[in-house]
Structure 1
Amino acid sequence: MNLKSLNQVSDESQASKDYEPAETAQTPQFSYQDQLVQLAQQRDLEALTALIDQKLVEQAVKVAEIEFKNNLLQLSVESSEIPEQSIVVPLLRDYLSQLRLPELTAVTIYGQKLGQELPFWMEEVALDLLILDAQALTPQITNEGSAEEAGHQVIPLPEVAPLPSEIALDITAKYEAGERNFARINLKDEALPGINLTLADLQEANFVWCDLRKSSLSHANLTSAQLRHADLTNANLQGAKLQGTDLQGAKLQGANLSWAVLRGTNLTDADLTDVNFQNATLERVIMPDGTMLD
C-alpha cells in the first residue's frame, strides 16, 4: 500500500460517512497519520519521508534523500539556509526513536543547503529504543516563592561565547561557499570555537594551541595534523581520520571520537575524560601515560 492508495482510502471512507445513518454505530478507523506510521514501520520510504517532513516543517527543512542500509538509516535534509545541526539532529533522533522502526539502531544525518551537492555537516547518532517518560522530559516550572524556599539559590548565567576571529569568519565563508580543501592550513593559536569543518581535508594542518571547543570535525581528514595542546572539549570528531595526528597535551574532555580512525596517533598527556571511543579504530596509539596501544 502506498500514499496514493492511502489518500484514496481516506477519501472513500470520508465519502461513505456522509451517507451513513446517524444511528449506525461507527467502527473505529485508523487515521491517515496512523496508517503513515504503520507503513513507516514497514520501512516504506515514502511514508517515512512524509512523517519526517511533517516533523521538520517548523524548521523549513525537508528530506532530500533517504535510504535504509540494514540497521542504519541514511538521511539527507536540506533547506534554503544551512539546517541548524544543533536543532535538527536531536529532533530527528528523538522522533525516530519514538517511531521504533524494526531493527533500526542508528541514523546518519546530512545537512545541506538547497542547490549544493556537498553536505555542510554530517552526524551519526544511535537511537534511544527505550520508551521515553514524557513527564520526566517536561520542564518543571517553579513559582516565585520556590527560590526563597530553596534558600535563594542562584542560577549561574550562561557562558558568553567569544567573538569569532577574522580568520574564523574567512574559513567559514569559504566552507559555506563549498570549499573543503584546507590541507596544510596554519591556524596556530587561533580561536575557532564551534567552527564547522565537517568532511574537510585538513591534512598536515597546524592547530597547535588552537581553541576548537564544540567544533564539528566529523569525517574530516586530519592525517598528520598538528593538534598539540589544542582545546577540543566537546568537539565532534566522529569518523575523523587521525592517522599520525599529534594530539600531545590536547584537551579532549567530552569529545566524540566514535568511528574515528586513530593509527599512529600521539595522545601523550592528552585529557581523555569522558571521550566517546565507540567503534573507533585504535592501532599503534601512544596513550596519555606514554604506553603504546597495539
Structure 2
Amino acid sequence: MLPPESPLINTFSHHYRQKYGEPVGKLPIDVDVVCPNREQGGCIFCRPASFTAGHLEATDHVLQQMERGKRHLLHGRFKRYLAYFQQETCTALPIDQLLAKIQMVLEDPDCLGLIISTRPDYVPDPFLKELSPLIGATEKECLFELGMQTAHKHSLQLLNRNHTFAEVKDALRRIKTAGPFETGVHLIFGIPGESEDNMLHSLTAACDMGIDALKIHHLQVIRDTPLHEMYTRGEVELFTLEHYMAFLLRALPRIPVRVVIHRLWATSHPDLLVAPKWNILATQLSEELLGRMRQQGVRQGTT
C-alpha cells in the first residue's frame, strides 16, 4: 500500500522523477518497419497515423529523429529521456539492424534507457540474448511493453490480434529470465462484448504475471479502420466519460503499488478520432480522476 504522503497513483512521471531526481520524458523512435500483423488484415482498431508523433519521419536516420525529438517533442521540459520504440512492431526488424539502432540511441548520455513496445509473438530469444549484455554494459533501463490488450480469447479474435494470451505469458517469462529487463503490458478497456468483470479479469491476470509497468487505453474508434465500420453499423458501444471514470475507480485499487502506470486513457489526433469525443484535455482528465479518488478514498493498490 502507498504511504499517506505518496501520490494516489504511481505514475510514470512520479516514478522516474523519484528515481532520477528530475522529470524524465519519452522520445519516440521509428525504425521504419511495418507491423507483420498487417499481412493478416491488421488489428481492427489500428491506424498508425493516430499514434505517430508529429516530428517523426521514418526515413530519417535514428540520430536525426533523436535530434528532432529533443527539439520539437521534449521542448526543453526534459533533459533526459527514455527512447520509446513504439511505432509498428520494431522487433520485426532483422536483429542486427535493430541492435545497431539501439546502440546509437544508448550512446546518447541524455538517454536513460529504452522502452521497446512490441507484440508478444515477436520477442525472439536471439534478440533477447544479444540485447541483454548491451543493456548490462550500459547499466541503462530497458522495459519491454507488450500489446496484451485482453486476456480473453474471443476478444483477441475480435480485435484480429492473431496471438494468444498464452503467448503473452510466455514472452513475459522469457524476457524476465533473459536479462536486466523490466516488463509491462498494454490493455484496452471497452472491447465490444466485454463486461466490466471481463476487463477487471484481464487487469488482474496482467498484474499477476509480475509486470513492472502498465499502459491502459479506453477503446477509441479511429477513422477508416475496421472498427470504424463496426461503429457505423451500430455494433460498438463506447465508454462515456462518466462511466470510464467510475470504472477506473474500481480498477485502480487492484493494481499493485509497484506497478508504474504509464497512462490510463488514449489520446488521438482530433482529425482521426471518430468517438468517443469527451472534449476534455488530458490534464483535466487527470484532475477529475484524482479529485474523485480523494473524495472516495481510492488509491492504487489498496485491494
Normalising by structure 1, we get a TM-score of: 0.29
Structure with more helix by fraction = 2
Normalising by structure 2, we get a TM-score of: 0.28
Q: Which has the higher contact order (CA 8 A, sep 6+)?
A: 2
Name which one, 1 or 2, has greater alpha-carbon Rg. 1
